[in-house]
Structure 1
């Protein structure tokens, strides 16, 4: 676990191949790393999200809920996208059910020949663009 903390504290960002270098954490160790760095600067949080995505650590409910909140509400599109991908890969059924329970939806609006992807807080509503 110390190597995760050192990598995040050093601000190494995406310069590492996390999966190969850092290895696997238990759900408890992942919780410790998440609780330590989830309130850090935006670049460190982005690195933490990247680590979660590529390493596919098992997540507690608390960690899963933190990721879900980022996937839906983070101000940075890049962090929302990484959290969305992570939850999709870790437990697609749970993620889909959680989105459905919140009436979340997505679709495309065509502007000329190009689609503009839209996701919403409720089916039919528009909340943001991707």
Structure 2
């Protein structure tokens, strides 16, 4: 699957890190980027186009993450998408047709949480609480 992330700030970096860990090589478009994005590009774990978004950039991608802090650019990106593309607008959940899961591995289990885009911060907090709770078990068993 071809994945595009427009933006390379804090939120975009979190998305990119998860995509890379999952074995993807996303394309990132951003004129400036976080240290992680720069290092991932140097290590060829991502493709980074060090420039601003341009009309037509979304054409060949099946999954698109909109992660800029520019409302005008975000609207341009959204207008360029098609119903056949998965879109996650991190700046406006109403524009998204999918949401990421907060997930983690515990023993032989992959545990995933979602608020369906209603509260990503609360979902992240709940995930962190569950990780701490599960890690408090001395013998590592689920009770």
Bigger RCO (CA 8 Å, 6+ sep): 2
Report the TM-score, using the length of structure 2 for normalisation: 0.28
Higher-strand-fraction structure: 2
Structure number with larger C-alpha Rg: 2
| TM-score normalized by the length of structure 1 | 0.30
Instruction: Decide which structure has greater helix share.
Output: 1
